[in-house]
Structure 1
Amino acid sequence: MRRAVCPGSFDPITNGHLDIIERASQLYDVVHVAVLINKNKQGLFTIEERIEMIEETCAQYGNVKVESHHGLLVDFCRDREIPAIVKGLRAVSDFDYELQMAQMNRGLTGVETLFVPTSPTYSFLSSTLVKEVASYGRDVSHLIPPMVHHRLVERLAERAAQ
């Protein structure tokens, strides 16, 4: 069985993330989506909310499993016998950082990293940018799944009311 992992914070999941997950799901029998926990970052959504949104938006693929993980991604891979990490690349700046991570991961455990260029439609897209633009009341509905958009608008309204 061919397995891979698509890691990220997914706060929230964007159409760019979905593009990479969907493409990975066509290449692998099982794609694990690892929602990585960084205790130094305060997310807009809880880990549980992120997992729920990813599960709902990826249900159509049928071979995607979503889990959270705290620690090194290579440990997640080792524990589940996953030999490959699939990462989307938006720009050359992504490659510089991701290449170092890929080399470190391979050196630590032999896990390979496959780079998938993002669709040009999503080459500028990041969760951080989506949250920032939405926080100023601008429409980001074309950048994230409809259910995620609804939850993002609600969460930002809750935060503004505090």
Structure 2
Amino acid sequence: MLASAEFWVGVAFVIFWGILFYYGVPGKAMSGLDSRGKRVADELAEARRLREDAEKLLKEFEAKRAAAEREAAEIVSVARDEAERLARETEAKMKDFVARRTASAEAKIAQAEAQAAAEVRAAAADAAIKASERILRDQLAGPSGAALVSQSLNDIRSKLQ
């Protein structure tokens, strides 16, 4: 048995493990593996935490984006309503302005017609007075006729104007 190679390989193997245990290599290897395992586990936990944070941020940003889209749609709707209201008000003001201008123009036209009619009446009255005066002077002669003509002409002037 001492001469067999397997025996000496076994002895060397036991001595090798003895030296390893004496210097604490398996404990150090286990603690190294444990620390590596703990570091990997910590990194995995950190990665999970970061993923959860990223998902939360994504949800928050999606909610904010949806809120911003709703707000933008509301702003557009309000602006459209305001523009339509302003258009209606402007149209009403323009109609009112045109109606006032038309009424003013009609009033000026009516005033001009009345003034023209009054001027025509005055011209006709002056012509009638002059014609009457000429006729009466030709028919009435003397001081009594002149007084009568003057009085009649004054009466006609006052009545016609």
Q: Max radius of gyration: which structure?
A: 2
**Fold-level match, TM-score > 0.5?**
no
**Which TM bucket (shorter chain)?**
under 0.3
Greater share of strand residues, 1 or 2? Answer: 1
- Greater relative CO, 1 or 2 (CA 8 Å, sep 6+): 1
